Structures are given as C-alpha cells and as structure tokens.
A and B are shown apart, each in its own frame.
Chain A
Amino acid sequence: MSELEVNKKYNVQVSTETIDGEIATLNLGPTHPATHGIFQNVLKVDGERILHAEQTVGYIHRAFEKLAERRPYNQITPITDRLNYCSSPINNLGWHMTVEKLIGAEMPKRVDYMRVIVMELSRIADHLVCNSVIGVDTGALTGFTYMFQEREKIYDLFEEICGARLTTNVGRIGGFDRDFSPEFYSKLKTFLKEFPKNFDEFGSLLERNRIFMDRTIGAGPISAERALNYSFAGPNLRAAGVDYDVRVMKPYSSYQDFDFNIPVGTEGDTYDRFMVRQQEIRESLKIIHQALDNMPSGDYYADIPSFYLPPKEEVYRSMEALIYHFKIVMGETPIPVGEVYHSVEGGNGELGYYLVSDGGRNPYRLHFRRPCFIYYQAYPEMIKGSLLSDAILTMSSMNVIAGELDA
C-alpha cells in the first residue's frame, strides 16, 4: 500500500506516488459505452482517483410537464411511459391512480390486485436490468444475457395484457381496458415456475462471489443521514438502512392486503444496493403469488361511466354509451377542481405526481417527482475520492435512468 496524502484543493486522499501536481479534466459522457444513457460528468481526476465531479443533465429533456398542460388526462398516460422506461407500467398506473384520487373514484378489489400483479412484474423487470448491468460493469456478462431472457418473458406478459412491450400505456383511468386473458394466466404460471430457478442461478453467480463482493463492497457508499438529506427513495435509500417504502407507509392499490418484507442494507454501497434489489425481486414474486391466489372476482373496471370508456359494442347500440364515448375521447369529462399529490413505489423509489386541476380538460399544472432526478444529485459526493471504475459502478447501481432524470 502506498502512502496517502490529502490534496488540499479538493480535500481528497491521493497516493503520494501518483502526484505530479497535475489534475486532468475528463469528460465521462454525454455518450459513453459505460454509462447506460445520456449522462455527462466532467471529472477532475488525479490519475484514476476522482477529485471532483460535476454532472450535466437535460440532454433528453422533453418538456413533459409543459406537454401535459395541453393534453386531456387520458392522453398523459403515454407521456408517463417515457419517464422510467424500464418499468413503464408503474408510471402508467401511478398516473391513473392520481387521476382517480382527484375524481374520487373507488376501484374494485379486482382492479387493485390486477394492478399489483402488473406493477410487481415491472418492478422485477426494472431490478433485473439494474442488477444484471451491475454485473456487466464488473465484467460479468453471463448473468446479463440470462436475465435479459427473463426480462423478455416479462415483456411477453405485458404484451399479453396490453399489446405493447416497452412503452406499455397499460390500463385506463378507472381500471383496465380488458381482463387478463387465459393465455396471460398460463404464461404467468410458467414464468412463476421457471423464473425463480433461473434467478437463483443468476444470484449464485454474483451474490456470494468473492470477486464480485471485493469489487462492490465499499464502492460508492452513502450514509443513511446523507441519503435522507438527499431525499433518496426506493432501493437506494433502503440500501443505506432506512426502511421507507411507499407501499407500506402510504398503501395504495390494496398493498395493505399483502404480506411481504422490506429488505434493508447497512452500508449503502454498491453491494447493498445490489442485494436489496435481489431481495426485492424475491419479495415481488411473493406478492404476485398472493395476488394470484386471492384474486377477487368482479369487474376489471370501476363503475365511473363518465371516465371509463364503454365497451365498443355498446357504443354502436346505446345512445348513452355513445355520448360517454364521445365525451371521454374528446376530453370533455367533468373534472373536479382541486390538487392532489399521489405517489407510488416506482422501480427507483417514490414516484410522485403533483396535479393541480382547475376543472379544465387538461391539468393546470402537473409535476412529476422523479426519484432519479432527486438522488442523482448525490452522485459527486458518493464518488469523490474513489476510482474511476467505481464511479461507473456506482452510477449503474443507483439505476439512473435518463428518461426519468430529464423528464
């Protein structure tokens, strides 16, 4: 081990051997094969040691909040797809629930349970991407190829529900557009049977792998206090040891009916974030099993005719259905005046919607609380003094998604 001394300007410990008084500026990104998305980081490095980092964000800013101010409520769902595109259904359903909260609609239990299945499936897909990419960034490509096959199967399930795979636009305000098909149930049963085996295989590749552990333990740590101060949420906050989960703290969509654990870490480093996500996948599977076993009978939509599209056959036959159909499609539904904040546990943490309605056909103001945008601020603090390769690893283990970052 070489001797360490403190660089006075940046207050970072650097090895005496590498110091020749020269600090290099390095652009990591905007496009770089090691950052999965459009992220730019201007790094000040001494050798491989990072002294200072500064992010630039906004490369794929698409003005969603402004766009939403001119769209009827139904047409905002496709926008939410493009926030965290690794788990679009959570964003879609979170938005539907926000509008339902605004109009005061109660969902039948069946809708809640169906939503829980969809949301937990997308949570699994989201965590699979993140965890397998952590493997890639440490040089373990094998797990990635296997887990992406599983992710494809989840996308097949989404396709069975709504016809789309990535940007799902799933469900409607007031429930689902159709019931789960028998094919969906049979595919889901196959998935639930085969996935745990394959997933455990993936786990056995990395979870107790000495090389992987040496590589990830202590990389990019953050304390619980700092994580809270930075308003971290989701797996990143839980990895630091704070058991905050919206599903438990402010239950939505009948999450109070389910029995599941909230895994927490201790150190808040890359390994803990990886392990928390691994464990959450297992808990999500538990939730899906419970939802399937206790699936209530009833309708897959709520009885709110002025918001939920009538069945197409009815539109051709009955006057009332035709009127509702026209009003909903044209965005002329009676929206109450008010403001709500609703949040769901997204793949990356608390995904919030702050919605102000003035009674018009579009929201007066809609703000997305995007967990990525909020916790990515902590990145320079987390990588300061670490090696460049750890910085890459920290970013992928935080699961920063460009779509959610820039909105």
Chain B
Amino acid sequence: MSTSSFLDKTIEGLNSKGFILEYTTDKYNEHNIVIDAKNALEVVQYLNAELGYNFLVDLTGSHYPDKENQEYQVVFHIQNLIENTRLRFKSNLSKNLMEFPSLTPVFSAANWMERETFDFFGIQFIGHPDLRRILNVDDMDYHPMRKEYALEDETRRDKNDTFFGR
C-alpha cells in the first residue's frame, strides 16, 4: 500500500469516528490534525490498535498567551514504522482547564515526555502514574517555559532591548 493511500485510510478512519476537528497538510508535507483533548487517548488507542501506529515520536507542549481559550497546546507526533507515515496531532487547551489524558496506557515512552511537559508548562496529564517535575528542582513553584517568564530578569535596567529584543 502506498504511503498516501494509507494516509487517506487513516484520515477516513479518524473522520468516521468524528475525531478530527481540523486537518491540514502544510507546505512541508507534514500532516497536522487538530483533535479535542478529551478524545486524545481514544485517538491514540485507535491508531495503535487498528492502524498500527506503533511509535510515539515526540510529545511536547507550547504556550500561546494571545489565543483566547486556547492558550496551551499539546503537540505529539506519532508514526507508523511499517507504512512510514508520520502525523502531528495538536490539542488546544484553555488556561482554565489544562488537562490532557495521559498516553501512558498505550506508550510507556509518554511517561517522561508528559512529565517534562508538565514540568515546563504545567499541563496536567490525567491518568499519569507519576506526574512529578523531572528536569527542574522539585520545589520550583512555577512552570518556566510559559511565555510570561522572560528569560532575563525584567528588573534589570542595564540592558536595552528596544532594537534587538523580541
């Protein structure tokens, strides 16, 4: 089966279950699928069991403070090694409900990836066996990859970023 027809089959299958909120293929030929956070575990279980997506490439988060009610995003890449098809899934989360189902029942690899995402963004992974900080110190009381934490100390006055800062 060629890669594109397998991809069509995947999209069809996901569509028939009503999982896809938005599907785009971008100019880099990467396939972006937006799903609802509460369906994420079912989506992954379906892909893994029915369509042989057996490799969780990566899971991470990002923060878009300007998007109202979609401030946080969980992004994961999942790949079928036999058909060589990689998909990127995204779920938008509101800052008022930062919950995402843990993918650990399907992929053991999700364990630390989710801990890392929790550590840096504060996204709660429901059903995770051991959701603790992983790279930062345990008693840290904030999630440093959020955009409100500028890299440099904002109280400093000796640096002028007017021209070259973001």
Binding site for B on A (CB under 8 A): 57-58, 61, 63, 65-67, 69-70, 101-102, 104, 226, 228-231, 242, 244, 249-250, 330-331, 338-341, 343, 350, 352, 354, 356, 360-362, 364-365, 367, 369, 373-374, 376-378, 406-407
Contact = CB atoms under 8 A, between A and B. Distances in A.
B28 A228 contact: no
Indicate the member of A63, A67, A406 with the most B CB atoms within 10 Å.
A63
Contact of B58 (A61, A229, A331, A341): A341
Contact of B108 (A230, A340, A352, A367): A230
Given A230-B109, A249-B81, A360 B166 contact: yes
A374 B109 contact: yes
The binding surface of chain B is classed by DSSP as: loop
A66 B144 contact: yes
B135 A362 contact: no
Contacts of B75: 354
Contacts of B108: 226, 229-230, 377-378
Contacts of B118: none
Contacts of B135: 57-58, 61, 406-407
Interface residues of B, number: 36
A149 B164 CA distance: 45
Contacts of A377: 108-109, 111-112
B21 interface: no
Interface stretch (B10-18, B39-47, B49-57, B94-102): B49-57
Contacts of A339: 26, 30
A70 B151 contact: yes
Contacts of A341: 30, 57-58, 77, 86, 88
Contact of A58 (B58, B107, B136): B136
Contact of B55 (A231, A360, A364): A231
B129 to A, nearest CB: 12
A63 B144 contact: yes
B145 interface: yes
B28 A356 contact: no
B55 A228 contact: yes
Contacts of A61: 135-136
